[in-house]
Amino acid sequence: MNCYFLSDVLSHLKIDGEYAGTVYLNPLYLKAETQPSLVEFLPTSRHLSPVYFSPNTQELSGLRVENGLLFYPQFSQKNDFSFKLIFQQKYHSSGGEITLTVVEDGSPKFYLDGAIYSVKSLPFTPEQSTAEFYGEYLAVSFFKKKTALFLFNLHSGELLFSDIVDEFYLTDVLTVKKSYKTVTETVITEAWELGHTARLKSVSDEKGKELLSLNRKLLPLAFFENAIIGARVDGVCTAEFAKNSSNLREFLGSVKKVLPSPTCDSAVWLIGGNCVTNATLSYKNGLIDNVFLDDF
C-alpha cells in the first residue's frame, strides 16, 4: 500500500506510535504492507490541535488515491474557552458611531455595535483591527500577514462582502487583490459593484511567470492551480477549448488544492471535499485541448 502524508502546517508525524519525521507542504511517501492503524499529525504551532487518523473513524480514515491513501489533516484552533478581550475602539463619522470589539472565547470573533449591530467569526486572531466609514459603507479589516475584510451596508446592516485579501480599495467600486502561492505567482484583482448587494463586475490576473513559458512537466500543475482560483488559462488552450476555459473554476467545483502526481509526471491530484481526483491534460499542436478527471 502507498501512503502519502501532507500538511499545510509544519507538523511532526507519528505512524502507529513511531516517530516518522516532519511533514510540510510536499507529500511524504511511505510504502506500507497494511494500512496504518493510527496516524498522528502534531503541529508545531501551540495554537492548533493535533489531528488523528484511524481506519475505525470513517471521516478520518484517509483519502483514497492510486494504490493507497493520502492523509491530509485540516487543523483547528485549540479550544480555549477563557474570555480574552483583544481589541476595542469607537469610530465616529457623519454616518454615526460604531464600536468595534474583538474577542476570543474558544475562537476569535468581532462585534459591531452602534450604527449597525453584527457578530461575525474571524479566520484568525488579528494583530491589528480597524473600521472605516466610506459613505454608506463600513469596511472592517483585520490584519495578520493578510487582511480579513468585511464590508457592510450601513443602511441595511447587511454584510456585502467578506474574504481574505492582500489589498483593498473602496470608492463606488470595491477592488481587492489576492495573491496565491502558485507556480506562476498569480495575483487576482476583483472589482465588485456595490449597492444593496455586491456584484462581481470584473476579474483580472497578473502572473509572475506566464503559462506559455513553462515546460510540459510543470504546465499541468500551473494550469489547474490557476483554474481553481479563476485566473485566465486561455493562453495555453486551443481556440476551441479556450471558449469554455472561463468555466473551469465552476467545473472543478470544490477543489481546494492541487498536487503533482507522485506516480505520473503528466498528471496532478485535485483535492476537494472528501476525495482526490486524478487530472490530466491532452494537447493539440502544443496547446491544451481537453481536461480529463478520474476519481480514485
172 falls within a domain? yes
What local confidence, expressed as pLDDT, does residue 59 receive? 56
- Give ∠ CA 159-163-169 in degrees, rounded to 5: 85
32 falls within a domain? yes
Which of 206, 238, 264 is the C-terminal boundary of a domain?
206
Residues near 36 by Cβ (< 8 Å), separated by ≥ 6? 3, 15, 16, 53
CA distances from 39 to 6, 14, 23, 57, 223 (A): 12, 6, 12, 12, 32
Q: Residue range 233-252: average pLDDT?
A: 91
Give the tens place of pLDDT for each residue, 142-183: 999 999 999 999 999 999 999 999 999 998 899 999 999 999
80 falls within a domain? no
Q: Residue range 176-201: average pLDDT?
A: 94
Same domain, 194 and 114: yes
138 falls within a domain? yes
Q: How far apart are the first and last CA of the chain?
A: 14
What local confidence, expressed as pLDDT, does residue 187 receive? 96
DSSP letter assigned to residue 27: P
Which of 71, 98, 118 is the C-terminal boundary of a domain?
71
48 falls within a domain? yes
What local confidence, expressed as pLDDT, does residue 191 receive? 97
Strand order in the sheet with 84-93: 84-93, 96-104, 108-114, 118-121
97 falls within a domain? yes
Same domain, 186 and 172: yes
The residue with cell 476579474 is 203
The better pLDDT of the pair 258, 77 is held by 258
**pTM of the full predicted structure?**
0.84
Domain count, the chain: 3
Domain that holds residue 43: 2-71
What local confidence, expressed as pLDDT, does residue 60 receive? 61
Give the tens place of pLDDT for each residue, 260-292: 888 888 899 999 878 899 999 999 999 999 999
What local confidence, expressed as pLDDT, does residue 239 receive? 95
Give the tens place of pLDDT for each residue, 20-35: 999 987 778 888 778 8
Give the tens place of pLDDT for each residue, 48-107: 899 999 887 655 668 888 788 899 998 887 777 788 999 999 998 876 899 999 999 878
What local confidence, expressed as pLDDT, does residue 25 receive? 78
Which of 177, 206, 235 is the C-terminal boundary of a domain?
206
